[in-house]
Structure 1
C-alpha cells in the first residue's frame, strides 16, 4: 500500500457544504480547562475525529467540509487554551499527554464504543500519531495532511533559519523584534516575551510569531497582519509553549513507537512545496510504515485550504466511504 502518487488525481473545488453541528458540548477536563466539542453529519455514521493544527489553532467550519455528511459522524474540538475552549491562551496543565487524555475523555463522554478514524494535519498529525500509539485499540485508521514528528530537526528548520533561506525578507521581519544577541534561539527568545506577565507585551510579540507561519503556509499566502490580538496571543503562546518543550515528546518518539500502530492503515496527503512541514518527514514516516499510502501533491504548500490538498482529502474520505459501502454489500 506504500504508494507515492506523482500526479494530482482530484480537481480543486470538491468540498461538501459545511454541515451544521447537531450537538455542541463544553466538557470539563482536569487542570481547570473546559473543551468545546461539536458533532456534525450523521449521528449514526462512521465516526471521525478531526485534530486541528497549531498547537493553538482551533477548529473551524471549513474542517467539516471534507466529509460526506450522510456517511460520517464528524467530531471536532478545540484543544486546551485555544478556540472556544476556556481559559484562552492558558498553558496550565497543557501538554501532549494532557491532550491525549482529553481525547480519551471525549470518547467516553460521547459514548463511543467502536473505533474511529483520526483526521489531522501538521500538529494535528503529531497528535493523531501520539494518541494512536497510546490507544491503538480505539483507532480504525489515520488520515494525515502534512506530517510533523516533533523532532529537533523540524524545529530547527522552521525557527533556526532553514526556511528563512527561502524567505529571507519574511525571516528578517520575524527576527526584527528580537535583539541580535538573542537570535540564535528564536523559540527561547519569543518564549521569554510571550510569557511576560504583561498582556500587552504578549500581544506585541504574538502577531509576528503568527505572521511568520501564516506567510509560509500556502503558495499564495500573505502575512496575517489583521489577525485579532486574542487569537494571535492564544496561537503564539500555545505553539511556542509546545515547541519550547520539544512537544513533550522524547526525541524521535513517534517513529520509535511506530510498531504500536503498524497494523493500522494510514494515508498521508503531503504538499510537495510545504515549507512548514517539509515532505521529508512524511517520506520517512511512510517508508517506515508498510501500511501507509503517501500522496505527494504537486503545486501545493502547507495549508489545509490549498485547493489540491483539499480535493485530495475529499477524494480519500470518499474512497473510505465507498469501501465501507462495498464491505456492507459483501
Structure 2
C-alpha cells in the first residue's frame, strides 16, 4: 500500500481538523510539514507530542511543498489561488478547503493547470462526503424519490465565530452558504436560474462588515423545484445542520446528529431529546475522514475527483448571484451558459 506524503499549509482551525484526520489515516498518508507563521495553540500542542512533522515558517513554503506528494491548503480564501498554483506548478496534487477561489476566472485557471499537469485538485465540498447525503443521492439517482419538488436545509452554526474570523470572511453566504448551495445543486442534478436572499446582522459588531449572521436563501431550478436554505450564526443547542429532499414518491434527508443514539423522551414536563454535537468538526468528523479516503483513491487511480471544475464554477456563480441579491434585496437571474447574472426587473 502506497503512503503519500502531505504538507499542510495553514495551521488554524481547518488545518487542525485535517491534520487530525490525516493522522488517523497513517497507512494512507504521512504528514511531513505544517506551514504557518502563527500556528494555533491546538496545533502547537499536537505537534509537540509528535515526531517527524516539521512546523515551518511561510518563507519555507516552497521547500515544504517539494517534500510532499499532496498539499493540503487551509489558508484564508484570498490566498488560495496563489498557493494552489504554487503547488501545482511544482507538480503536487492539491486538496483545498472551500471556497476554492473567489472568481470564475481563477476557478478555470487552477483546474486547467491541474489538468494540463495530470494532477488531482479536490475542492473540499464536505457535505457530499457525509454518509446521509451520499445515501440520499443514491436514492435520488435510483428514482426512489420520484420527481424532486423541493429541498429544505438548515445550517445553524455553533459556536458563534470569533470576530477575527468574521473580519476575514466575505460574508455568511460565501462562508457557510457555499456548502449548502453545493449540496442542493448536487442533489438536484441541475443549476438554479433564480436566487433570492434576505437576512440581518443581529450582532451590532457586524454592521460595519457588510455581513449577516442570520439569513435565508431561496433558489428555483429549471424543473420548477425550489431549495430553501436557512443560515444562522446562532444555535442554542449545538451544531444544528439538517436537510430534507421532498419528492412526489418519497422524502429523504438527515436530522442533526446527536452525540449518542437519538432519544426523544416524553414526560410531564414535555419532550426532551439527546444533546447535539457541539460544532461542525464533531458533526462531520467521519466526513472529513471520507474526504481524505476519496483523495487517496483518486491518487491511486481508483476514482475520479468527485467535485468537478464545472460544479465549482456553478456553485461559485450561484453564490456570487446570492451576494448580489443580498446587496440589492432583489431576486437575481442566473445564466449558467454565459456565466452571468443580473438583478431581475
Q: Which protein has the larger Cα radius of gyration, Structure 1 or Structure 2?
A: 2
**Greater length-normalized contact order (CA 8 Å, ≥ 6 residues apart):** 1
Question: TM-score w.r.t. structure 2 length?
Answer: 0.30
Question: TM-score w.r.t. structure 1 length?
Answer: 0.31
> Which structure shows the bigger proportion of residues in helix conformation?
1
> Which structure shows the bigger proportion of residues in strand conformation?
2
